[in-house]
Amino acid sequence: MSSLDVAAAAQRVARFYQTLSAESVADLANIYAPQARFKDPFNEVQGIAAIERIFSHMFETVAAPRFVITTAIAQGDQAMLGWDFFLQLRGREIVIRGVTHLRFDDTGLVLLHRDYWDAAEELYEHVPVLGALMRLLRRRLAAPPSA
């Protein structure tokens, strides 16, 4: 895959996430390879159905989630996307800033999606009663196990 193809694939992923909705979660198969791996601070899964569960769960449990892609860098078969993730927590908007490492297959589908963000900087500072609320957040953000 050429750099231009990877840049185009990264932009396609960026557009998908910036317009992600509860309804568009079903379109993940147009972005991810069937055997894709996904990891963030709360989940580690493989396969489109498992990735769909994570995002469906997000829309069920988090108020007003949305992504804004701030940076896209592509090289070889990989890309990095910088992003701001906005959500409502107890009526207050919170912004989590992070980066996603993507690796693509030769058709431009995502094989690996790994999110990196600093929970101490991006989330803990917004939590007045750290312990109990962090446990609540982890339960709410973690997708339920597959049946």
pLDDT in the model for residue 1 = 46
Question: What is the tens place of the pLDDT at every residue in 13-24?
Answer: 999 999 999 999
Distance between CA atoms of residues 116 and 96, nearest Å: 11
Question: What is the tens place of the pLDDT at every residue in 81-108?
Answer: 999 999 987 788 889 899 999 999 999 9
Strand partners, 107: none
CA distances from 128 to 12, 63, 131, 133, 136 (A): 38, 19, 9, 8, 13
pTM value surpassing 0.95 = no
**Which structural domains are found in the chain, ordered by start?**
3-141 (3.10.450.50)
